[in-house]
A = this chain, B = another copy of it.
Amino acid sequence: MTVRADYRYFQPILTRWHDNDVYGHVNNVTYYSYFDTAVNTYLIEQGGLDIHGGAVVGFVVSSACDYFASVAFPDRLEVGLRVGKLGSSSVQYELAVFRAGEEEACAAGRFVHVFVDRATNQPVAIPDGLRGALERLV
């Protein structure tokens, strides 16, 4: 069972009309857009990531999600985030989707960012500002 206490940071997500697919639930793909949004909001606001012109860029090299229960627009959601593994140039995020007010997750996933130099695409050490923010989620 995946519960809120397992996570360190929570990102509110307001579902949108077209998060639902033809079956009337949030499409499985859309959960990953919630994950991207939670992680990047945190990195920008807490770690100083500059997505427009910063020297480093986070590339996703793997991702996965398990779905336990469906959610649907217009549900209000929260994405829980913690850091699993923190390496010199990469980080594994662990995430879960909760309905507002609920303790048990509807889905749980993870993805790995490798930080690379924007110009050369070569892996680089995670800059100090980002690393500090990530360490607070371990």
Question: Residues of A at under 8 Å CB distance from B?
Answer: 12-14, 16-18, 20-24, 27-29, 32-34, 36-37, 40-41, 44-45, 51-52, 57, 59-67, 70, 73-74, 111
Contacts and interface: CB of A to CB of B under 8 A. Distances in A.
A36 B16 contact: yes
Say whether chain A's binding surface is mostly helix, strand, loop, or mixed: mixed
B57 A23 contact: yes
Nearest to A21: B18
18 contacts: A14-B14, A16-B33, A16-B34, A17-B33, A17-B40, A18-B21, A18-B36, A20-B21, A20-B51, A22-B51, A22-B52, A23-B51, A24-B52, A28-B36, A28-B111, A41-B74, A60-B67, A63-B65
B28 A21 contact: no
Nearest to A20: B22
With a 10 A CB-CB cut-off, give which of A44, A51, A66 has the most chain B CB atoms: A51
A40 B111 contact: no
Contacts of A28: 32, 36, 60, 63, 111
